[in-house]
Amino acid sequence: MDEWGLKPQQTIVITGASGFTGQHACAYFSSIGMNVVALVRKKTTKKQSEGICYYACELLDSTELEETLRSIVPDYVLHLGGKNSVPEAWQKPLLYMESNIMATLNLLNALRHSPSCRILVVGSRLSFPLQPPYRPGHPYSLSKSLQSAGALSWASLFGQSVMIAEPSNLIGPGPSTGFCSLLGRHIAGLERGEELTPFTLSSRTERRDFLDVRDAVRAYAVLLSMGQSGATYQIDSGTERTLYEVALSMVQLASCSVPISWSEQGDSEEKPFSQIFRKSVTPEQLPVHNWRPEIPNLQSFVDIIDYFRLEGGTS
């Protein structure tokens, strides 16, 4: 049994298992002795070992999904699948509605035959309150807001145990497209002698909360074990840092000069990230039980750069 009460040999299904957070989640739940069923969209060449079994399954194919889950009968489901690119969402808004909303409802519907299964849907801090006036910042925000509302509503209608997690900006080693990983890849490339233009960021003053993905996965374990059904949990480090502070910390870890190009457009009007997207959450929903982040940002930055040094910047 792990520190949060999850028992070895219980089965957890992880959607989006091939993604940045999904890979860390599979490793963590396998390390505590759980049977991990990793759902991916395409067949994988990864070995089915160390408690991880890979299934190729399309979440938008309701028949295939239901058949797969009936054969597994999971105790827990961690739903990480979906799309999360703000720029792409502007180009393909309907795809984002389908991938983030309909895929989630397909998953919940397929799990109706397992009423004891506890389900954690990972939403986004970029979602907005679903009350007039409806002014999402972008189609991705709309898709994640509707995903959370749909998941909790569906669970209420059919008596399923569903919770929502809203993590802050997740960082750490692995194939992420977040700005820390992009900068880490850039640093590793310069150290290898690649000729690169200066790394560009849009702001010095924008503030964000950065949380190591491995700490986030531990928080997900807490919620799956002890979270309150129907609740929404915000998961973060508790400290916001400017992009300038973060970039400076990472540049100082490089073994070569790392030119940074800054755009000051909009800096004078920017607010902390939490003020832009802060939503009303009832007090009992805020604490994530006894969970606390353990990995400091500096260690995350070191691990990010080392990952791209080892991977050759190709991940």
For residue range 255-287, list pLDDT tens digits in order.
Answer: 999 999 877 554 544 444 333 333 434 434 445
Q: Is the pLDDT score of 315 beyond 50? A: no
Q: Establish whether the linkage from the previous residue to 283 is cis, with ω within 30° of 0.
A: no
- Residue 107 in any domain: the answer is yes
Burial 193-205 (b: 16+ CB within 10 A, else e): eeeeeebebebbe
Neighbours of 67 (CB within 10 A): 13
- Residue 97 in any domain: the answer is yes
For residue range 92-105, list pLDDT tens digits in order.
Answer: 999 999 999 999 99
Domain of residue 17: give its range.
Answer: 1-167
pTM of the predicted structure, to 2 decimals: 0.89
- Residue 151 in any domain: the answer is yes
Q: Is the pLDDT score of 153 beyond 90? A: yes
- Residue 82 in any domain: the answer is yes
- Residue 86 in any domain: the answer is yes
Q: Which two tokens stand for residue 224?
A: 């799956």
Cα separation, 72 vs 309, whole angstroms: 38
Neighbours of 98 (CB within 10 A): 16
Q: Mean pLDDT of all residues in the chain?
A: 88
CATH of the domain at 70: 3.40.50.720
- Residue 66 in any domain: the answer is yes
Q: Which two tokens stand for residue 15?
A: 């959607």
Angle of helix 297-311 versus helix 179-191 axis, rounded to 10: 50
Q: Is the pLDDT score of 126 beyond 70? A: yes
Tell me the backbone φ, ψ of residue 121, rounded to 5 degrees: -100, 125
pLDDT (mean) for 118-142: 89
State how many domains the chain has.
1
Query: What is the per-residue pLDDT for 266?
Result: 46
Cα of 233 vs its chain's centroid, Å: 13
What is the phi-psi region of residue 230: left when phi exceeds 0, alpha when psi lies from -120 to 50, beta otherwise? left
- Residue 184 in any domain: the answer is no
CA 106, 108, 114, 115 dihedral sign is: negative
Residues 291, 294, 296, CA angle at the centre, nearest 5°? Answer: 140
Closest CA relative to residue 171, chosen from 304, 80, 294:
304
For residue range 155-178, list pLDDT tens digits in order.
Answer: 999 999 999 999 999 999 999 989
Res. 111 pLDDT band, cuts 50 70 90: very high
- Residue 17 in any domain: the answer is yes
Res. 297 pLDDT band, cuts 50 70 90: very high
